[in-house]
Amino acid sequence: MNSQAIKALTFAILCSLSTLVFAQSSNYYRQAIQALNTGDLNLAVTKFQEAIKLNTQNQDAWYYLGMTLMRLEQYQQAAFSFKKLEAVNPNYKSWFYFETAKALIELGKFSAAETYLQKFEAKRSKGPKHTTTKHLIKNRLLYSQISPLIRDLPVTMKEPLPIDAINSLSNDYMPQVNPMGNRLYFTSVRKGGFNRMDDSTNTNNWGEDVYFSTLENESWSDPVALPAPINSIGNDFGSAFTADGQTMVFVRCGDENSVGNCDLYITQLNGTEWSEPQNMGNVVNSEAWDSQPTISSDGNRIIFASSREGGYGGMDLYLIEKNYLGFWGIPQNLGSTVNTPLNDNSPYLAADGKTLYYATGGHPGYGGMDIFYTLLESGKWSKPANVGRPLNSSGDDTNFTISALGIAYFASSRLDESNYDIFEVELPDHLKPKPTAVVQGVVSSAKDGQPLDAWVVVEDINSSELLAINKSNATTGEYTVVLPAGRHYSVSANSDGFFFYSQSFELPKDTSYQEITKDIALEPIEKGAKVVLNNIFFEVGRAELKPISYVELNKAVELLENNGSMVIEVGGHTDSQGSDEQNLKLSQARANSVKDYLVLAGIVDTRIRAKGYGESQPIADNTTSEGRASNRRTEFVIIEF
């Protein structure tokens, strides 16, 4: 065989071998794609790597290898794969430049990430159909530029500690603490809840259920699953409660009557039993994922996360409020100051009603999801601020909640990137919400001491603005009201067949957190019953009513309107300061002022008698300022009923 023939044969053999190699590479690539489709990411990585060994120019294999490694959070290897792809074909699908930047951000290589974002921006279309991509690029550029500065900020708090008594081998997350900080609700996928025990595929995920733990002697008790109808065989999670613990909003997925795949549900505590949860309907819920609610202390507002269309990208935060009919209104997006082109979720509205904590990957931070806070000021949300480290970490930190005292709880993957645990930390003062007071107690009958199911109403005593309406527990009579600092409040209780009772609280802006226990004994409406109207105020030494008395007087008008046969005596009383004659005259004039107000409001004159008693019937010691204040009072006595 001559040399020409040998060369031809060698070339043919090489071509045949090359064809076989490329064919085998393509076969590995197909196997990798099949593994991807079945969810076996590790097998997919192996097959892509085998395909690349046989054909280093296989650009599809480099791309999907990088994408698979991103899903596995193996960012170093992912960035390597994308850079290899760039060397093979820099004009491949332009999105791989963005994925390279994402990997580099996760690795903390911000300067390199900026370079790849700029490459991505240069290759993307500038047309109007690509505006959302432009926003995303700008967001990630800002993240890369600002995050190094945030990460250099000084530490302002102690290291958060995992709560061993609550955490399990499974995912534990979405904590919600009550205002007093002695009960913690959370979601877990641990075994032992309302599980599908016959599902052999379960390992550490037995479905989502809501649990609670109580703080006893500074230790958290063993978690207990909430009973049916809250928990079910399906996924039930993300519980949020009003301050009194008697209204709960949570999430249920996969119900046959759901609006979307996961919807918001609401339920009421009646005595010791929860009502059947009600889907909040298609005004609130969408066909998309609606989840992670927080409800205001007074129960009038809910903020939640949703992936519905029309947002800024990924998950966004939305607000709903009760309208004048008591129905929940249409969700309103919180806007671009709060929401980003990435995921924004797990909102928590603090007891002050103005401080919102939430988790986002869209604002500059420490990596993964970080916890931020924003303040509602003059109807607008302020620029979100990162709460800092070590609360935030390089892992995912989310599901923040805080007691009125300032002890925070949150979920984090910092110990295990595939598993969430619940952590506890005390926030520094500058990160805490505005101070609040927790007023709690028991509403009962003054006649027999039995607990009462009563309405507890909170109003601004200066403006008469109705701020909240709560109910005491039907079985225990317990009530809880959270009052943000900076207002003068009237807190009243009323129940059918009983006199209303009011108490005023002034909480200056500089008030620190406090807990006030105020048990309320309501007098039954019957002949001879006598009550003190605590919120009737007069000018010093005069009979003119102060405007702040109108809230209380309007309750008296309503009481008389609802009980048409009632005849009352308005009794005026003074302390012992001044002469008997002056005090008697002043008390009569003040009783007359109250009667005049009631008559002007439409109550028939003959149903009201006014009598001044001066200083003759003290109920406290006149030698102290507190005692004298108690003796200066207005009383109602039922004469006929």
Q: For 528-550, what is the HEC assignment? A: CCEEEECCCCECCCCCCECHHHH
User: Which pair of structure tokens corresponds to residue 529?
Assistant: 């019953």
Return the pLDDT at 512.
83
Exposure on the CB side of residue 394, measured as CA atoms within 13 A: 9
User: Which pair of structure tokens corresponds to residue 591?
Assistant: 């009783």
Q: 394-432: per-residue pLDDT in tens?
A: 999 999 999 988 999 999 999 998 899 999 999 999 999
Q: Cα separation of 595 and 612, whole Å?
A: 12
What residues have CB less than 8 Å from 588, skipping those under 6 apart? 572, 610, 611, 612
Q: Cα separation of 603 and 587, whole Å?
A: 21
Q: 67-96: per-residue pLDDT in tens?
A: 999 999 899 999 999 999 999 999 998 999
Pairing type for strands 397-402 and 407-416 reads antiparallel
Name the nearest CA neighbour of 533 among 507, 585, 570, 483.
570
- Higher local confidence (pLDDT), 11 or 178: 178
User: Which pair of structure tokens corresponds to residue 135?
Assistant: 């926003």
DSSP 508: -
Q: Cα separation of 433 and 589, whole Å?
A: 46
Mean of the pLDDT values across residues 454-460?
Answer: 89
User: Which pair of structure tokens corresponds to residue 381?
Assistant: 């949300």
Q: Is the model's pLDDT at 17 over the cut of 60?
A: no
pLDDT band for position 204 (cuts 50, 70, 90): confident
Q: Hey, which residues does 92 pair with through a beta bridge?
A: none
Q: Hey, which residues does 612 pair with through a beta bridge?
A: 572
Q: Cα separation of 4 and 502, whole Å?
A: 111
Question: For residue 52, what are the CA distances in angstroms to 57, 59, 496?
Answer: 7, 9, 79
Unique residue bearing structure tokens 């207005």: 634
Across the chain, which distance is largest between two alpha carbons, in Å?
143
SS3 category, 605: helix
SS3 category, 504: strand
Mean pLDDT over each residue of the chain, to the nearest integer = 90
Length of the chain (residues): 641
DSSP 607: G
**Residues 397/422, Cβ–Cβ less than 8 Å:** no
Q: 598-636: per-residue pLDDT in tens?
A: 999 999 999 999 999 999 999 999 999 889 989 999 999
Q: Cα separation of 586 and 589, whole Å?
A: 5
Q: Percent of the chain beyond pLDDT 70?
A: 95
Q: 424-438: per-residue pLDDT in tens?
A: 999 999 999 988 888
User: Which pair of structure tokens corresponds to residue 183?
Assistant: 């009960």
If phi > 0 it is left, if psi is from -120 to 50 it is alpha, else beta; for residue 55 that is: beta
Name the nearest CA neighbour of 501 among 489, 509, 493, 510.
493
Mean pLDDT is lowest, of 26-40, 169-183, 263-277, for 26-40
**Residues 417/73, Cβ–Cβ less than 8 Å:** yes
Q: Cα separation of 284 and 292, whole Å?
A: 13
Please report which helix (H) or strand (E) contains residue 627, including its range. helix 625-631
